[in-house]
Amino acid sequence: MTTPQMLAGIRDWVLGKTGDITALIPAQATSQNQLADKEYVNDKVSTATADFKGTYNSLEDLEQVTANANDYAFVIATDAAGNTVYKRYKWVEGTGWSWEYDLNNSSFTAAQWAAIQSGITAALVTKLSELPTNAELNQRVQNAIDTALTSYYTKTEIDALLQTINTSLSGKASQTDLTAEENRAKAAEQAEAARAQAAEQANAAAIAERYTKQEVNNLLSEKQDTLTFDEMPTKGSTNPVTSDGIAKAIEAGQAEPHENVTVTATANKGDVSSAVVNIYDENDEVLATGVGTVSLRLKYGTLYKVGGARVYDYLTPAIQTFTAGQIMREVTLRYTYIERDVVTLDQSISDPATMLSGDIQGDVIKQIRAASHLYLGTPATQEGDTEGTELICQLDDEDSTKYFDGTTAALDGSEGDQWMKLPVFWWKVAGVGEAAADGAHDQYQFKYAIAGEPDPSWNKWHGDRNLVGAKEMTVIDGKGRSVSGGQSTGSATRAQYNTYAAARNIGCQGVTWEWQWMMCMLFYAWYGNTNSQAVCGIGSNTYARTLGVTDALGMTDTTPSQASSLTSAKFWGLEAWWNCKAEWMGNVTMSNYVLNIIDMNTNQARQVAGFIACGGTGGWTSRMRIDANGDFIPLAKEATETTKYCDWVNSNPGSRVLYRSGNFANAYGGVAYVSAYYAPSDADAYVGSRLAFTGVVTEAESVAAYKAALPAGQ
């Protein structure tokens, strides 16, 4: 039978495993997280009784279980009288680990076992009820914090302690006696007076700036007299500190208030934790640097700057300047993600309306378009200048017969030439996937950004240096002009057009290869269609047409019906950008199907192979190779006027010059039309050119200022 003594022994066994439950609560703690609550103790009790492995229906079932030394389990059995009993087994080591019947404990009946379990539960509940309440725990936390705070000195107390140090003590034996009774008493008095105030300011930052009494005593007891102080050390500093050094610091006026500044890099999108963050002095010398964040302690009155290094895909935050004068300062360097539009061209698709996808008329494209304008411009190059200068004045976006201020503009050349200018922006062309055997990709991505350069692999469009004529070139007094009212000039060679352009101003030449393909990319991004004639119209069936018929449209594009009635299509402010009269390009030639391109911005030459598959009789471009420079190279001519690019290409071997746009109202002319068919000596009435300028572009402050700068007889 089970005796009370046996039950007490089981209770002792359980409690021996859990220990004194009240001991789970620490006598002192500094945070609520370190205190044990009832749920925590329940978990402790649960894990403490883990050596009881349960009750099993047979010894065979128990033998399937492995355990640790002295673990217990009970097996249900039947005694000689047919009663259910609970036999206790222990995991012991013999010839090997196994379960053995515990002969030191009797078997228990079902009723006795239930009583045992009830007794254990009651004992545990009694212990749990002795735990403190949450309110008691909170009070214990507060008491712990108050107790901890009394072991700290405030900065004011430290200054007072340091003032008691006689600077003449250096080298004397009495220098070590810095814990004299009067100083100790005074320190204790000051600490007690400051305790209440310190308790109210008990936050992590304030506590971190205080020294414990022991730390101060350790600092003052050092015997190293060779140290020269730059500043008072912060709590936890590893710098060696001496009593003599502290005295010298005070004497030199270096024990002054300091500002703790922390600079952190953040971003409106993505992660810039890799950004290098710097703190500079007023002479831009780096005082401290860190990755993602940096901290520094500076004397009051110190002028300093904070800034971050460039991170690809982000705009670099502006340098910020401060004067140290706060206990703490937190500065955020906010990096702004450079948004970009991505337009995908799929050459495997035949339908021109679905070849393009992605950010058609996306936010960036809209910004580029909104920042593009028509201008009147006049040469402002001075004698001796090696680079041309063009002074420009903006015209009205809605009606280019007016200046931006609404006053009438003369477009006949008397107030300058008509230009279109794109803004500064960044662009990139990249093939998708692996290139085919011909070097081309089935898909290309055109990427555009206007806020800044995402990374060095992107190209910059120098909108502050490049202009293109809004009209086809008219030669007046031997100079190429971009004017309204007459007819454009034809029947001249490409070289002659470059000469006419150069006579107008340094930096002028015939329309360039770069302008041809940039306007093509912008058309694709704006309309999402490769059939430019279907979108903006086909133009005129004569090259001898009057210039300026679209002036009242300003920057507005024509529709097919408008282009028909006005005898000219217009796109992005450019009249007759295709058809009517073809245009020699001023900076590209071809020799045996290899292009020689003179970059309009750098004047550097590059050679690009292509066009060989398009030799002889022309055809509709069906496949292009597009490189990182934005060079569109036709590779195949297997399309029609309503499929693929919907524009014509042809070429010949030998020495060739190139023209763009097509002529008359031919169906093959469009934004991607290019011909390398003719020799340099060719001159035809239906082929002209268009001005392009690269140089210094300055914008007049007002219409009056612009007109005042016009040369006499302009």
Distances (CA, A) of 511 to 390, 535, 589: 16, 23, 13
CA-angle at 507, arms to 506 and 509, nearest 5° = 110
Number of other residues whose CB lies within 10 A of the CB of residue 398: 11
Distances (CA, A) of 620 to 660, 669, 675, 676: 14, 10, 12, 14
For 276-336, the DSSP string reads EEEEEETTS-EEEEEESEEEEEEETT-EEEEEE---TTEEPPPPEEEE--SSEEEEEEEEE
235 neighbors 209 (Cβ within 8 angstroms): yes
- The distance from CA 94 to its chain's CA centroid, rounded to whole angstroms, is 68
Q: Which residues pair with 651 in a beta bridge?
A: 615, 676
Q: Which residues pair with 331 in a beta bridge?
A: 263
Phi and psi angles of residue 134, each rounded to the nearest 5 degrees, phi first:
-60, -40
Q: What are the 10-residue block averages of pLDDT along the chain, 714 residues in total?
A: 39 42 39 41 48 80 83 80 81 73 63 62 55 56 52 53 41 36 55 51 42 49 34 40 45 64 96 96 95 93 96 97 92 97 98 98 98 98 94 98 98 98 98 96 98 97 98 98 97 98 98 98 98 96 94 98 95 97 97 96 95 84 97 96 96 95 94 96 97 98 97 70
CA-angle at 445, arms to 444 and 450, nearest 5° = 150
Contacts of 182 (CB under 8 A, 6+ apart): none
Report the length, in residues, of the chain.
Answer: 714
Distance CA 378, CA 710 (A): 7
Token digits of residue 353: 């309306």
Distance CA 691, CA 467 (A): 8
Distance CA 75, CA 55 (A): 6
**In a 3-state reduction of DSSP, which class is residue 609?**
strand
- The distance from CA 238 to its chain's CA centroid, rounded to whole angstroms, is 37
Rg (CA), the chain: 44
Distance CA 579, CA 568 (A): 8
Name all domains of the chain by residue range, CATH numbers in brackets.
Answer: 4-132 (no CATH), 150-251 (no CATH), 258-337 (2.60.40.10), 342-696 (no CATH)
Nearest alpha carbon to residue 145 among 315, 28, 262: 28
pLDDT value at residue 167: 33
Q: Which amino acid is at 31?
A: S
255 neighbors 323 (Cβ within 8 angstroms): no
pLDDT value at residue 113: 62
Distance CA 134, CA 35 (A): 10
Distance CA 364, CA 447 (A): 10
Token digits of residue 52: 């009881």
Token digits of residue 130: 């002795």
**In a 3-state reduction of DSSP, which class is residue 518?**
helix
User: How does pLDDT run across 136-187, given as a tens digit for each residue?
Assistant: 655 554 555 555 455 455 555 555 555 554 332 333 333 333 344 555 555 5
CA-angle at 167, arms to 166 and 170, nearest 5° = 110
Phi and psi angles of residue 641, each rounded to the nearest 5 degrees, phi first:
-70, -10
For 108-167, the DSSP string reads EEHHHHHHHHHHHHHHHHHHHHTSPPHHHHHHHHHHHHHHHHTTEE-HHHHHHHHHTS-G
Distances (CA, A) of 344 to 347, 531, 636: 10, 16, 20
Sign of CA dihedral 473, 474, 475, 481: negative
CB crowding 262-285: b at 16 or more within 10 Å, else e: bbbbebeeeebeebebbbbeeeee
User: How does pLDDT run across 4-61, given as a tens digit for each residue?
Assistant: 333 344 444 444 444 443 443 343 333 444 333 444 444 444 544 557 777 888 888 8
DSSP state of 27: S
pLDDT value at residue 54: 78
Distance CA 611, CA 625 (A): 10
Distance CA 106, CA 93 (A): 21
The whole-model pTM stands at 0.67
420 neighbors 374 (Cβ within 8 angstroms): yes
pLDDT value at residue 639: 96
Distance CA 520, CA 585 (A): 15
pLDDT value at residue 58: 85
Reported as type and span, the H/E element at residue 620 is strand 616-620
- The distance from CA 200 to its chain's CA centroid, rounded to whole angstroms, is 41
Instruction: Using DSSP bridges, classify how beta strands 276-281 and 303-308 pair: parallel, antiparallel or unpaired.
Output: antiparallel
The residue behind tokens 């009205």 is: 396
For 151-213, the DSSP string reads TEE-HHHHHHHHHTS-GGGTTSGGGG-TT-HHHHHHHHHHHHHHHHHHHHT-SHHHHHTPEEH
Phi and psi angles of residue 388, each rounded to the nearest 5 degrees, phi first:
-70, 150
Distance CA 670, CA 666 (A): 9
**In a 3-state reduction of DSSP, which class is residue 366?**
helix
Q: Which amino acid is at 698?
A: T
Show the DSSP H helices in 334-481 as ranges.
363-370
pLDDT value at residue 302: 94
Q: Quote helix, strand, coil % in the chain, to nearest 5.
A: 25, 30, 45
